Structure 1
């Protein structure tokens, strides 16, 4: 016996709705390069002196405020560490993602042996951007990022000693950990990881990535490091 036409229509609509939801959550599907909403303000960079690879950009405070990611921007937050600075950075990323309607997924490594595999897992998810929070991830990122040059990374509250063009950092004097056996900077200050400073690092860093100012350090102090 054939089901009533109304029942068939209801089932078809439900199937289409489920298919639409699953495809929207499927990051494996290719998508165009993300286009920023809004433009960088005066003072973010000096047009007459564009940043060189591995260079430092000291933007005017607030010059990134008008820049927003497109709706549904795909971001993986990769975070390791239970110290107060790492928690503050992770909280800033999550708050920004909620405010900006970002599609955020989080990876927390199980232990130190999982640091490098966790970076690989993040890359395999094919996000628009991987944001790293926590000094413990700096050296693992230095190992993995040169092998995935098409994937954009943003390191907040730290930086890589020799970043490739796909790794951008948002840093300041109280947070300038660089890994690779260089030790903690003499200016390191856990108290400098305020909610305001961490939020600025996330927004300024993302604004730079969206405008293809990558492979540089976005320095949030008034004066760049010597």
Structure 2
């Protein structure tokens, strides 16, 4: 092979390798829709009683453990705040993603001016699911989510006062921050954000989303 042709072939091969790596990294390539692997256990919800929008369901403890996301489930962790509850939730989401081989990206908002732009940035990444951790994001999410009904959201450790069908929340009596001036309930307790509770929150919430049980609140008490 002539030298200039060999050089061109080498450059083309290198370009192909770079393109192959970057296409997977930027989530740009089409792929099958994510699905649930496994099934919900008895007592997660009552199948004979359809859940109304904004309803609250109290699953039997552990009824979600048989459900896992399909391979390379794409999740953006949207977070704001460095308080103890938020840190506990972030750690739980990261641990879950590692254990389940989830493709996890993180968008962190550092100040109030970043809250809505951070939600927009997360949506622009076109993930399968956006998981929100941090009370500061509740009011901005309430503003943005009704206008983007095709994007699923999961709020852990808090809830929106009037969620649309694309927003699912996991809450408990020690959490239950609702925003819109409602703030935290009188039972709010930062100590309730234990590792076990936060782990259950992300797993139960994702199990609900993967089974199309959305627009509701999963109550863990």
TM-score, length of structure 2 as denominator length: 0.94
| Farther-moved stretch of structure 1 (36-45 vs 137-146) | 36-45
Give the superposition deviation at 1:16.
3.4
| Farther-moved stretch of structure 1 (166-175 vs 11-20) | 11-20
Separation (CA, whole Å) in 1 of partners of 2:3 and 2:214: 58
1:155 is aligned to 2:150: no
Aligned length in residues: 221
Q: What is aligned with 2:123?
A: 123
TM-score, length of structure 1 as denominator length: 0.92
Separation (CA, whole Å) in 2 of partners of 1:95 and 1:13: 37
Give the superposition deviation at 1:32.
3.0
Q: What does residue range 20-169 of structure 1 map to in structure 2 within 5 Å?
A: 20-169=20-169
Give the superposition deviation at 1:83.
0.5
**Per-residue displacement from partner, 1:126-148 (whole Å, max 9, x unpaired)?**
10000000000000000000010
Give the superposition deviation at 1:31.
3.3
Secondary structure of 1:173 counterpart:
coil
Q: What does residue range 165-184 of structure 1 map to in structure 2 within 5 Å?
A: 165-184=165-184
Separation (CA, whole Å) in 1 of partners of 2:116 and 2:19: 34
Contact kept? 2:175, 2:184, Cα under 8 Å: no
Separation (CA, whole Å) in 1 of partners of 2:218 and 2:186: 20
Contact kept? 2:34, 2:73, Cα under 8 Å: yes
Give the superposition deviation at 1:9.
7.1
| Farther-moved stretch of structure 1 (168-177 vs 3-12) | 3-12
**Per-residue displacement from partner, 1:120-174 (whole Å, max 9, x unpaired)?**
1111111000000000000000000001000000000000000000000011010
What 5-or-longer segments of structure 2 have no aligned partner? none
Give the superposition deviation at 1:6.
8.4
Give the superposition deviation at 1:18.
2.6
Separation (CA, whole Å) in 1 of partners of 2:153 and 2:103: 16
**Per-residue displacement from partner, 1:90-111 (whole Å, max 9, x unpaired)?**
0100111111111111011131
Separation (CA, whole Å) in 2 of partners of 1:124 and 1:7: 38
What 5-or-longer segments of structure 1 have no aligned partner? 222-226
Q: What is aligned with 1:224?
A: none
Cα RMSD of the aligned pairs, angstroms, is 1.8
